Chains A and B, each alone.
Chain A
Amino acid sequence: MTNTAFDIELPLLLEAVYRKYHYDFRGYAAASLKRRLLQAMGRFGCRTLSQLQDRVLHEPALFPALLDFLTVQVSEMFRDPAYFRALREKVVPLLRTYPSLKIWVAGCSTGEEVYSLAILLQEEGLLERSLIYATDINASALERAQAGIYEAARISGFTDNHRKSGARSSLSDYYTAAYGKAVFDKSLKTNIVFADHSLSTDSAFSEVQFVSCRNVLIYFDRALQDRVLGLFRDSLCRKGFLGLGAKESLRFSAHSYAFSDFSPTDKIFQKEGS
């Protein structure tokens, strides 16, 4: 194993960011962080990570831009249509039995997944009695999520995914296209709460029946994954549901015992009774 200057500088930078800005990336998987930080170094004209640390510590205005590198999440509406189809066909019938629903989209980034769920719940007649918590650590991503405006060029992909998810309506029912943008209906947002929340440092905040957290855990190391899965276990009601990304699993987690497979191919798990 190599121990390059970069390997020495990386934890120092993360420690500096944590102490100065209280954003904790110390439990992020190093390999992905490294790629992103190399890109950030290119953008900010820094030859080394130490130079980047110098600038981040002494130029607070730079930090939001760095945060965008550290938290970049690439998402789309109804990504992995099979996941949404499984929610619709297998999870929704059980969610219906609750008089009111709370759902947590953890690490919602720019909101594509949140609106996908809101549309699905609307189609299933559940949105009115649902409250969706959409959380992320990146304030500018949350703002974009709250705005619900996406490039029109992305809509055909979203529409295709939506159709494959077993849609009961047309995606175009939910947005207005104007000036190359698609603006999603305000009515979808009535039952969504957008909130700043760190999976690294904050605790559980409400009891929910369903947590959707897809392609977020892959960016965390195993210790942080365990922390976060512990948060989900604590947040979920008995027999509540957890949805993960297509290639995420509980296999290597300390909390695998707390969940059972509900729809394993779709990565939907259920909190054990007890």
Chain B
Amino acid sequence: MTPSTGAQSVDAVAIGASAGGVEALSMLLAALPASCRLSFFIVLHIPRERPSLLAEVFGGRCALPVKEAEDKEPIQPGTVYVAPPDYHLLIDQGPAFALSSDEPVHFSRPSIDVLFDSAADIYGERLVGVILTGANQDGAEGLAAVGRAGGRTVVQDPVSAAVAYLPEAALKEGPVDLVLSLAQLQDLFASWGAPG
């Protein structure tokens, strides 16, 4: 694996997906080793009416604890956090989570852009941004913000994505460090164990 995405220099991974995202994320989270000390933040577009079962769905397949992020909750290492439905999820000083019910961004709440922008502010170069399959452009600008702040940017290869629109939008928006197939993404996630 490239040293630039090695776990040693990174504290957190922000992941955004919409259409097709449940399947892709299930595979990637299942690849995470139990020794992983990174914090993961996930925005997945889902219909707002549905009570979110994402934490349960992903929790069963992931070696790390998976939970819905709560307002003002301090961020722990080795934990996967999912944005609650119908709220924006932001990273604030602490680092801790902040929720907002501001207007949808690109028709989306939670919005990937909102998460990525705020995470880039707090984590700078110690952040990896990952854009997966999706049918909406929300996330493309956010990933560019992660890159501008010095973070690593990763996009699922549109060819391997269930829906190519979002990965293509992200590739168009700005320079991306890595374009990986789902299998390569699994390898990357699997490499994020504790050093040594």
Query: Chain A interface (Cβ within 8 Å of chain B)?
Result: 1-2, 4, 29-32, 34-36, 72-74, 215, 217-219, 221-222, 225, 245-249, 251-252
Q: How far is the CA of A249 from the CA of B72 in the complex (A)?
A: 9
Interface SS majority for chain A: loop
Extra pairs beyond A247-B70, A248-B99 (12, CB < 8 Å) = A2-B122, A2-B149, A31-B92, A32-B102, A34-B118, A35-B100, A35-B114, A74-B101, A221-B92, A245-B101, A248-B71, A252-B72
Q: Is B84 an interface residue (CB 8 A)?
A: yes
| From B100, B103, B124, residue with most partner A Cβ within 10 Å | B100
- Shortest 7 CB-CB distances between A and B: which pairs? A31-B90, A31-B92, A218-B99, A215-B101, A29-B98, A31-B118, A32-B100
Q: Chain B residues near A225 (CB, 8 Å)?
A: 72
Distance from A72 Cβ to chain B, minimum over Cβ atoms (Å): 7
Contact of B98 among A4, A32, A251 (CB under 8 A): A32
Q: Is B91 an interface residue (CB 8 A)?
A: yes
Q: Chain B residues near A218 (CB, 8 Å)?
A: 71, 87, 98-101
- Name the residue of chain A whose CB is nearest to the CB of B122: A1
B71 touches A2 (CB 8 A): no
Q: Chain A residues near B100 (CB, 8 Å)?
A: 31-32, 35, 218-219
Q: How far is the CA of A247 from the CA of B102 in the complex (A)?
A: 14
A252 touches B73 (CB 8 A): yes
Q: How far is the CA of A3 from the CA of B111 in the complex (A)?
A: 25
Q: How far is the CA of A36 from the CA of B114 in the complex (A)?
A: 11
Distance from A228 Cβ to chain B, minimum over Cβ atoms (Å): 13
Q: Chain B residues near A248 (CB, 8 Å)?
A: 71, 99
Distance from B57 Cβ to chain A, minimum over Cβ atoms (Å): 19
Q: Is B173 an interface residue (CB 8 A)?
A: no
Q: Chain B residues near A31 (CB, 8 Å)?
A: 90-92, 98, 100, 118, 121-122
Q: Given that A218-B100, A245-B101 are known contacts, is A29 also in contact with B92, CB under 8 Å in the complex?
A: yes
A-B contact pairs, 23 of them (CB 8 A): A1-B93, A1-B122, A1-B124, A2-B122, A4-B121, A29-B90, A29-B92, A30-B92, A31-B118, A31-B121, A31-B122, A32-B98, A34-B121, A35-B100, A35-B114, A35-B118, A74-B102, A217-B71, A218-B98, A245-B101, A247-B84, A252-B70, A252-B71
Q: Is B117 an interface residue (CB 8 A)?
A: yes
| B97-136 interface code vs A (CB 8 A; 1 in, 0 out) | 0111111000000000010011001101000000000000
A74 touches B98 (CB 8 A): no
Q: Chain A residues near B86 (CB, 8 Å)?
A: 246
- Name the residue of chain B whose CB is nearest to the CB of A80: B86
Q: Chain A residues near B84 (CB, 8 Å)?
A: 246-247
Distance from A204 Cβ to chain B, minimum over Cβ atoms (Å): 23
Q: Chain B residues near A222 (CB, 8 Å)?
A: 72
